[in-house]
Each structure stands twice: as structure tokens, then as C-alpha cells.
Amino acid sequence: MSASAPRKALNIDNINPHVKAAEYAVRGELAVRSEEYRAKLARGEGKDLPFDSVIAANIGNPQQLDQKPITFFRQVASLLENPLLLEHEDILIKSLGYKSDVIERARWLLKEVKSIGAYSQSQGAPGIRESVAKFIERRDGYSANVKDIYLSTGASSGVNTLLHIICAKPETGILVPIPQYPLYTASLSVLDARCVPYLLEESSGWGTDLQAIHDSYEKAISEGTDVKAIVVINPGNPTGSSLSLEDIKSVLKFAAEKGLVVLADEVYQTNVFIGEFISFKKALRDLQKESPGQYDHVELASLHSVSKGMVGECGHRGGYFELVGIDPKVAEQVYKFISIQLCPPVIGQCIVELMVNPPKEGEPSHELYKQEYDGIFGDLKKRAYALFDAFKQMEGVECQTPAGSMYLFPTITLPAKAIEQAKKEGRKPDEFYCSRLLDATGVCVVAGSGFGQKEGTLHFRTTFLAPGTEWTGRIVKFHKEFFEEFR
Amino acid sequence: MSASAPRKALNIDNINPHVKAAEYAVRGELAVRSEEYRAKLARGEGKDLPFDSVIAANIGNPQQLDQKPITFFRQVASLLENPLLLEHEDILIKSLGYKSDVIERARWLLKEVKSIGAYSQSQGAPGIRESVAKFIERRDGYSANVKDIYLSTGASSGVNTLLHIICAKPETGILVPIPQYPLYTASLSVLDARCVPYLLEESSGWGTDLQAIHDSYEKAISEGTDVKAIVVINPGNPTGSSLSLEDIKSVLKFAAEKGLVVLADEVYQTNVFIGEFISFKKALRDLQKESPGQYDHVELASLHSVSKGMVGECGHRGGYFELVGIDPKVAEQVYKFISIQLCPPVIGQCIVELMVNPPKEGEPSHELYKQEYDGIFGDLKKRAYALFDAFKQMEGVECQTPAGSMYLFPTITLPAKAIEQAKKEGRKPDEFYCSRLLDATGVCVVAGSGFGQKEGTLHFRTTFLAPGTEWTGRIVKFHKEFFEEFR
């Protein structure tokens, strides 16, 4: 062996090219730099920075931005972590503010999982899946079966599972909305399958455009792509949209006609500001009732999570998906696949249970729960509209009315000089804008190119989770100065 | 559209063939059947069953089998789940038995993660990774860097990450010990890469056999396999072995010579009954010190977990891996890959911190911690040897002396008639034996074929986690009757 070190066995030129090809901007370069700024400020070394705090508006992470957890959830969770506390009911109730339903729920969950330190069934604890099924029944007015519910490590791992099952070969294609949450394109890259993009219609609140879906599908088929599924994110990420029943039904009809599996990413189902949320499952059952026999073959997987909504328990990595109309032999393979990773975090499973089965009216914890839930909802809505109003006043910025999810996704029309400067620096124009925004204000957003956007358009995605309006002011001021600099 | 339902878009013949090809016996058919028995007994309907309880000896799941969690860990976790409890220090200490170090640790962890409901950095919270680095330094006597530590969702997700990075093409091969924990073969199937099996040496306590590794490597190379890495599981799963320093060094030398990444699965590092655990990291640093320049290029990833040891917190899905000597550009891709799934469960990360940084001597919680830890260790060792003694008395059963991990993996020599009967039923002989064992006793073990075994030999894997010895008696009785039936 020579004394000079040979090239590493693993190097950038010989590792998995499909991993290399994946892009995930939500936690990309800007996110990393914003963390460096945050650490610098925390060390008291940020005197040279033109801001005194970092605002992580790049990711839907409510509790990072001071959203308080729902008390009922966390009281139950504390008892699950330390069941010995249940030997002190009196103290819990009289001195620590725990209500009797907190204690009952903890006892019931412990009976179901035995210990949150034990692996559960790979599909999730049966009692918890039962609660999820009942929740879906109440939500949709149609039955749900515990055997079709799969608990997951956040919705992300559910998406990963479903795409692993579906993507059979490099020609397999999945219709993905553009703009999209980059989990989809990144996972398809890793799986060496094809993303078949279909454009959402910005001018109509980022709704689905059946003609666009149809054209993308036909184009893909003509190129030899075996299109197997269509992803819909409703309410929309990054778009902030909320789909109409008509849009949902037209996607289902298209899927029925072409034999596509529908992947309904419904993690923002309680973040709806305009109209009401309608699940793909309900819309499918409606169609099946209206046209007997016509839609029985439709295959649907719908995903939910504890990370979003008023729950905001991202760090607990809880979620589930429901399989509808899936061949039992395929479901067996889903089970086997998830079993390789043993089981989702059990305390996360318990948070799923609490989310789908919160205190009911008349129960001791209900009043506080409702007050907290409504408070968070109201705050989010208020901030969404405050940000929307700020965008309306900004030169070259247009934004659809906030309808759902945790994001706004405005169009930005940048001055030609800025686009030139971006080119000089080897950056996409929207990334250039977002990078400058971060350096000037400490506000971290994600460039539209990280989600995909119609050619020739530029956007960025921002959450409206950060409290107060001071940070909105920073954006407005930066934007004005940016335009002055590059006009 | 015709009224009769067309074949499903997803069916067993067109889904991902690599997922279909994966096998994961630990949670396979027998595990599913044992869960059905358990549910039946729970419903009070098991009168026809020849047993009154199910013993899940198929999986290392200590808290499912009544192992109590370590009090310190769970007290801290309860405060992380409900930080409002920290407003009642007096009650915690005077009435609920919490010590001051529990409260301090909870406050510190909350400062590090802000809220366990928030996503952390994808690599894990920096302060927790710092604790892991310090633990490795104490354990090995060599430095460790916080930037090389990656927290994970149990060790399984760490393995998944590393194999995703390494497996670049269908010709990529990974040397995997036989018998092995089937996570490796299952993941390689899913990734469409090649498992290059090397046999462990049963007669020398399941140690590594350098000649066997060498021969497997050469054979794979001659078949066009691009061998990139070698997996070692130490202490052994399913074998119950504990590798000698000599074995470890010879693997490292081989890896250095051939340019292989070493994947050291060290999740059972505290489950050692004979000798002491030596990490691959320490052995590598020793080699580097002994022969300057000769081993600087070696690439190593070592994995650990909160699921095993005396911690046994499987359900919390916490773990980490350390990268040693990995090209920084490759590490960047590791970071990007894990960022797609956002972050490991944050409470699981906190349990990792508690595992690597337990109460020190002189601290208030130390005495109870030590008592619980030593108690669990002693019980496990006692049960391992009790089971070993039972095996020694069973006809046709031979077992290596328990040295580490949570398993025994005895050889069984079955009567010819039993092998014939298995063939008639279309089963492998060891699966036939294990299936009969489950149906007769409620004890669920895993057939050796689920882990791989030398041709012509038969084994099964059992944990020794279940309390008491009554269940061992069930195995002994069944075995005797089985041999009488088929003699």
C-alpha cells in the first residue's frame, strides 16, 4: 500500500447517482446558512449582522416559531412517558391541573401499546388505528377499516413507502403537481422513476387544471412512460390553495379513466381558511354512490400527519395513510416493506390518536382544548392575511388569496438588472432574491425553483407561522431596497 | 368503461419487484400468526389453544416482555413532553420522586431542542450530537467530532441511509455476514444491489473467518460484483457472539487492503457477557496509531441505538451513526438524503442523549439508575444461561456459549421424518419446526433460514428477554414431543 492515501472507496463520483440527483430545497443551502446565522447570534457574535434574529419561514415548523403545543396532548404524553405518575392521581389533578380525561386516556393508550418503549405492530398499534378509522368515518360519513390504516413516521415516510411500492422500473411515472412539495421529486429521483409534472393554475387560486393533467399524461405516455399514479396536495403546499369539490372529482374521474392510483397528501386538512376541506376519500365514495359500478376500481392512498394543523407536533414524527381499493396482495407488500423499519415511533402514534380523538364537548379537557385550538387557528389566519396584505403593497409581487395550508407562494417579477446579476453569480433569479433576503433580514424563505414553477415565472414560499408582524416589515423594507438597487 | 371492474392499476405482478423480492422473517408469517393468537387470548376466545400466553421471542423488544424502562430516562422525558410541569419543581421533588438532576437535564434538553414538537436539524440537535461525541470519546479514548454524528430513527434508518448512499448500481455488492440480521438483505433487495454473503464460524463462537471473507470477496469480484463495503454485527445478531479484538482488526485490515467501507452495527454494545466490547472505531484508531499512514484511508460507519442494551427503548426509535474517514462531499449527500425525511423523532433523540450521558456517580439519580441498569443486565445474563442450559439438555440441539446481544441461535438437527413432513407441506425444515413450536406453545421464534445459515444446517433464533423460566419449559416439552412424533 502506498503511503499517500488512495482515493476514498466512496466518493462523489461513485455513490448512488439517484441520491445525488435528488434536490430538496426546503432544507438546502439557505436553510443551512440561516442555521449558521442563528448559531452565531446565539453565541453573541452577530454584531456585524444587519438583524438580531433569524426567522425560519422556510419550513412549516410551528413550535420552532413559538406555537404552544396543545395542553391535552402533552399532558397525556407526559403520563405515557412516565406511567409511575399515574400512581399519584390526586397530585396530578389537585396540584398539576391534569383533568380526569387526561388520566383516562393515558391509561387506555398504555393498555393498547403496553409501553411506548416497546415496538408496536409495524402497521401501528391496533387500538390507535381503530381511533383513526373512527375519525375518518366521522369526517367523511363513510366507513373506514382498521386494516386499511397504516401509521407512519410523519407523512413523509408514508409517501416514501407508497412510492417504493409503485415505482417498479425507470419508466414508471407519477403525475406530480407543479409547484409541489419537493419530497415527491426527491423521492422519485432516489427511486430512479419519472416525475410527470402537471402545472397548477395560479390564476384560479392554484386549482387543478384537468386539461394540463391530460396533456402531461398524454405527453408522458407518448414518451414511453408508464404513468401509474397522480399526486394531489390539498390544501396546497407550497401554493396555499384549497381545492374545490369539482377539482377533486375531476381528478378522481381522470384517475378512474386512466387507471391511476391517487396519492392524496392531505396533511393540511385542518388549515383551511376558505370553504371547507373535502377529503378525496369522501369525494370518491360520493362518486361511487352517484354512479354505481363506475368508480369501484379506483385506488387511493390518503395521508395525514400530526405535524401540521393546529397540532403542529412535527418533532413527534407521527402520521398515517389509508389505503382504499388497493389489492390485498399489494397491501401485503406494503406491510412487509414497512416491517423492515420495524414500526413508527410509538409516542408519535399516540399523538396521532390524540389528534384524531381530541376531548369531546362536555369532557373535562374540552374547554381548554377548544380555546387553544381556536386560538391557534385564528392567529394563523390573521397572520396569513397580514402577510397577504403586505405582499399586495409590494412592487412586482402578486399573491393568490390565502385559502389553506401554512404557506403563501407569491409571484415576483424581478427587475432585469437583478436577473442579470443573478446570472453573473451563477444563481437562479429567485434563489438570488431569497439569498439576498436572508442576508439582509435573517428571514429564510424558499425560492420557487425549489418547488417547480411555470417557465418564465418566479416565486418564493414563505410560512406565516412566525409570531408578530415585525419580520413582515423586514421583508417589505428589503424588497423596496432590492428594487431600488436593481431598477 | 365496462361494468366489471378492470384489474387494479397496482397488482402483485406490476409493483416494485425489488420490494417483492425482499424478505424480512423477524416480522413474517409466524410473527403475524402469534399476534393473532395474542389477540384471540385477549378477547378471551383462546380456550381451544394449548397455551394461555404468547411469548414474542422473535424480536428483541424488551419492554413488550415486561422490562421496566430506566426511571431517569422516563422522568426526564415526561418533563420534555409537558414542560409546564417544570413550574412545579417543589411537587416534582417532594411528592413525585423526581431528583434535581432530572429537572436540570430536562431544562437543558429543552434549551437545546426548544420543543420536542419542533423539527430539529436533519442530522439531529447539535447539543445532543455533542453529547454523543463526548460519549464516544470516553468509550474509546479517541476524539469524536459532532459534525460526524448523525442521529437516526433507530439504527435501522441509519442502515437504510448508508446503503442508499453506497448502492450505486445493480453490480454494487456488500459483504454481509451469514447468519445476519435480515434488515441488510432486505434493504439490499429493495435497493437492487447484491448481497455478498460470508459465513461466520459457528464452531468458534460465531467469530469472523478471514479466509471465508476473502473467498467470498474474490468470488464476487470474479462475477463482476463491485464490492464496496463489509457489514459486521458485533455483538452478533442473530448469533449472540462477541468479537475478539483480533477478529475486529483483521476485518479492518481486509477493508483497508480492498478499499471497503466498514459498516459496524454495534447496537448491542452493552449486551456483552464475555470479555468487553471493543468498537470498530477504537480498533481503527489503534491500528492507525500502531502503523502510521497505513490505515488513514479507512472509511467506517458505526451504528448505535436506544432500542437494545439496558435501555430497551425500541418504541422511541432513537439511534445514531458516526462517520469516520468519509469524504466530506459524500457526507453532504448523506445530509441531503436524510433531510428529505426532515428529522428523526426529537424525543427519541433526547433518549439517545440520556443513554449516552446517564447520571454520573455522585449525582442524585445515579444510585437508582445503577441499580436498575445492573438489575436488567444481571437478569438478562441469568436468563441467557438458563436458556443455554436448557438447550444443552435437548436432543439434537447445540448452542454456542452466550457471549453478547439478546439472542441464542442454536443448531437443530431434525429427524429425517420431520424434514420429509416439512417438504410435504412445502416448508423449509426449520420453518416447519418453528411453526409447530408456535402452534403448540405460543412461543414465537424465528427460523434460521430467515437469517441465512450454512447449507445443510438448521437453526432458530430466540431472544432471552421473556421473564421467568416457564416458557423455556414449554420449549423443552414441545421439543421432546416433536422428536417423539418424528423419530
Largest CA-CA distance found in chain B, in angstroms, rounded: 77
Query: What is the nearest CA distance from B97 to chain A, expressed in angstroms?
Result: 10
| Site of grid cell 481486509 | B254
Binding-face residues of B in 2-61 toward A, CB within 8 A: 3, 5-6, 8-12, 14-17, 19-20, 22, 24, 26-27, 35, 39, 59, 61
Would you state the cell numbers that stand for residue A148, as one nine-digit string? 386499511
Is pLDDT above 60 for B2? no
Residue B30 reports pLDDT greater than 60: yes
Q: How far is B11 from chain A (nearest CA, A)?
A: 6
Q: Which of residues 293-312 of B touch A (CB under 8 A)?
A: 293-294, 296-297, 299, 307, 312
In percent, the amount of chain B with pLDDT more than 70 equals 99
For residue B451, give the C-alpha cell: 437469517
- B167 interaction partners in chain A (CB closer than 8 Å): 16
Q: Which residues pair with B176 in a beta bridge?
A: B197
Question: Scanning every residue of chain A, which has its alpha carbon at the shortest distance from the alpha carbon of B24?
Answer: A340
Q: How far is CA A66 from CA A56, A376, A467, B294, in A?
A: 11, 11, 7, 52
The pLDDT value given to residue A29: 87
Query: Which backbone phi and psi does B434 adopt, to 5 degrees?
Result: -70, -35
C-beta of residue B458 within 8 angstroms of C-beta of residue B413: yes
Instruction: List Cβ neighbours of A475 (8 Å cut-off, separation of 6 or more).
Output: A390, A437, A441, A443, A462
Judge whether A25 and A182 are in contact, CB under 8 Å: yes
CB distance B166–A16 less than 8 Å? yes
**For B351, which residue in chain A has the nearest alpha carbon?**
A117
Instruction: Name the residue in chain A with its Cα closest to that of B21.
Output: A333
Phi, psi of A365, rounded to the nearest 5 degrees: -90, 0
Q: What is the pLDDT of residues B163-199, one digit of tens each?
A: 999 999 999 999 999 999 999 999 999 999 999 999 9
Q: Do A22 and B340 touch (CB under 8 A)?
A: yes
| A94 in reach of chain B (CB within 8 A) | no
Verify whether the Cβ–Cβ distance B342 to A156 is below 8 Å. yes
| Residues from chain B contacting residue A167 (CB–CB below 8 Å) | 16
Q: Could you list the pLDDT tens digit for every one of the 487 residues in chain A?
A: 444 556 799 999 999 999 999 998 777 889 989 999 999 999 999 899 999 999 999 999 999 998 999 999 999 999 999 999 999 999 999 999 999 999 999 999 999 999 999 999 999 999 999 999 999 999 999 999 999 999 999 999 999 999 999 999 999 999 999 999 999 999 999 999 999 999 999 999 999 999 999 999 999 999 999 999 999 999 999 999 999 999 999 999 999 999 999 999 999 999 999 999 999 999 999 999 999 999 999 999 999 999 999 999 999 999 999 999 999 999 999 999 999 999 999 999 999 999 999 999 999 999 999 999 999 999 999 999 999 999 999 999 999 999 999 999 999 999 999 999 999 999 999 999 999 999 999 999 999 999 999 999 999 999 999 998 899 999 999 999 999 999 8
B316/A116 touch (CB, cutoff 8 Å), yes or no: yes
CA torsion B269-B275-B280-B282 (nearest 10°) is: 110
Interface test with A, best of B18, B115, B156, B258 (most A CBs within 10 A): B115
Residue B1 pLDDT grade (very low, low, confident, very high; cuts 50, 70, 90): very low
A192 shares contact with chain B (CB less than 8 Å): no
CB-based contact A168 B113, cutoff 8 Å: no
| Three-class DSSP labels, chain B | CCCCCCCCCCCCCCCCHHHHHCCCHHHCHHHHHHHHHHHHHHCCCHHHCCCCCCEECCCCCHHHHCCCCCHHHHHHHHHHHCHHHHHHHHHHHHHHCCCHHHHHHHHHHHHHHCCCCCCCCCCCCHHHHHHHHHHHHHHHCCCCCHHHEEEECHHHHHHHHHHHHHCCCCCEEEEEEECCCCHHHHHHHHCCCEEEEEECEHHHCCECCHHHHHHHHHHHHHCCCEEEEEEEECCCCCCCCCCCHHHHHHHHHHHHHHCCEEEEECCCCCCECCCCCCCHHHHHHHHHHHCCCCCCCCEEEEEEECCCCCCCCHHHCCEEEEEECCCHHHHHHHHHHHHCCCCCCHHHHHHHHHHHCCCCCCCCCHHHHHHHHHHHHHHHHHHHHHHHHHHHCCCCEECCCCCECCEECCEECCCHHHHHHHHHCCCCHHHHHHHHHHHHHCEECEEHHHCCCCCCCCEEEEECCCCCCHHHHHHHHHHHHHHHHHC
**A102 interfacial to chain B (CB closer than 8 Å):** no
Please, which residues 400-419 of chain A have a Cβ atom closer than 8 Å to chain B? none
Contact A119 B61 (CB under 8 A): yes
Is B319 within 8 Å of chain A by CB? Answer: no
Q: In the structure grid, which three cell numbers stand for residue B239, read together?
A: 448469533
Rg from Cα positions in chain B: 24
**Which of B342, B354, B368 best tests the A interface by mutation, with the highest count of A CBs <10 A?**
B342
CA A29/CA A24 separation, integer angstroms? 10
Give the minimum alpha-carbon distance from B406 to chain A in angstroms, rounded to a whole number: 15
- Chain B contact set for A261 (CB, 8 A): 9-10
List CB contacts (< 8 A) between B117 and chain A: 62-63, 69, 312-316
Q: Is A291 on the interface with B (CB under 8 A)?
A: no
User: Confidence band (pLDDT; 50, 70, 90) for B90?
Assistant: very high
Burial class (CB in 10 A: 0-12, 13-18, 19+), B114: middle
Cα distance from A26 to chain B (closest Cα, Å)?
Answer: 9
pLDDT at B3 over 60: no
- pLDDT for position B26: 74
Closest to B186 measured CA to CA, from A122, A170, A8, A129:
A122
Ramachandran angles phi, psi of A341, nearest 5°: -100, 15
Nearest to B450 by CA among B232, B57, B160, B178: B178
Q: Please count the other Cβ atoms lying within 10 Å of the Cβ belonging to residue B389.
A: 12
- CB of A96 within 8 Å of a chain B CB? The answer is yes
CB B165 within 8 A of CB B174: no
Helix/strand number for chain A, H first, E second? 17, 14
Judged by phi (left if over 0) then psi (alpha if -120 to 50, else beta), residue A293 lies in left
Pairing of strands B261-265, B226-233: parallel
Q: Which residue of A has its CA nearest to B5?
A: A297
Residue of B403, B366, B372 whose CA lies nearest to B388: B403
B467 touches chain A (CB under 8 A): no
**B187 to chain A nearest CA, in Å?**
8
pLDDT in tens, B261-310: 999 999 999 999 999 999 999 999 999 999 999 999 999 999 999 999 99
Distance from CA of B481 to the nearest CA of A (A): 32
The total of other beta-carbon atoms located within 10 Å of residue A266's CB is: 23
**Shortest CB distance from A85 goes to which of B96, B114, B164?**
B96
Task: Please name the helix (run of DSSP H) or strand (run of DSSP E) that holds residue A444, with its range, or none.
Answer: strand A443-444
Q: Given an 8 Å threshold on Cβ–Cβ distance, is A61 in contact with B327? A: no
Whether B333 contacts A20, CB under 8 Å: yes
Q: Which pLDDT does position A411 carry in this prediction?
A: 97
Mean pLDDT of B322-337: 97
Q: Are A279 and A269 in contact (CB under 8 A)?
A: yes
Interchain CB distance below 8 Å, B95 and A96: no
The model's confidence at residue B5, banded by pLDDT at 50, 70 and 90, is low
Cβ distance B16 to A165 less than 8 Å, yes or no, reads yes
User: What's the rounded Cα separation, in Å, for the pair B104 and B94?
Assistant: 16
pLDDT score for B282: 98
Assigned C-alpha cell, B453: 445459515
Q: Would you call B168 and A14 a contact, using CB atoms and an 8 Å cutoff?
A: yes
Interface of B with A in 416-455 (CB under 8 A): none
Strand, helix or coil at A470? helix
Alpha-carbon distance of B334 to B344, in angstroms, equals: 14
Give the whole-angstrom CA distance, residue A49 versus residue A470.
17
- Locate B447 and state its grid cell: 427460523
Phi-psi region of B44 (alpha: psi -120 to 50; beta: other; left: phi over 0): left
For the record, the C-alpha cell of B98 comes out as 423526581
Strand blocks (E) in A375-436:
397-398, 407-408, 411-412
Number of Cβ within a 10 Å radius of residue B461: 28
Asked if A154 has any chain B CB less than 8 Å from its own CB, the reply is: yes
Strands B149-152 and B319-324: antiparallel
CA-to-CA distance for A163 and A130, rounded, in angstroms? 25
DSSP A397: E
Q: Is B291 on the interface with A (CB under 8 A)?
A: no
Chain A hits for B61, Cβ within 8 Å:
118-119
Question: CB count, 10 Å around CB of A481?
Answer: 12
Residue A346 corresponds to which cell in the numbers above? Answer: 410509538
Whole-angstrom CA distances from A30 to A26, A178, B350 are 9, 21, 27
Chain B residues with CB under 8 Å of A81 CB are 74, 77-78, 80-81, 347
Between the alpha carbon of residue B76 and those of residues A333, B229, B372, the distances in Å are 38, 39, 16
Mark yes or no for CB contact B24/A336 under 8 Å.
yes
pLDDT value for B37: 96
A12, B116: Cβ pair inside 8 Å? Answer: no
Note the pLDDT of residue A1: 41
| H or E segment and range at residue A319 | strand A319-324
* Contact state of B113 with A261 under an 8 Å Cβ cutoff: no
Q: Nine-digit cell at B188?
A: 439490499
Residue A404's Cα: distance from chain center in Å?
12
Q: Does A398 touch chain B (CB under 8 A)?
A: no
Residues of chain B neighbouring A82 (CB-CB closer than 8 A): 74-75, 77-78
The predicted model gives B433-442 an average pLDDT of 97
Q: Report the alpha-carbon distance of residue B466 to residue A324 in Å, rounded.
A: 38
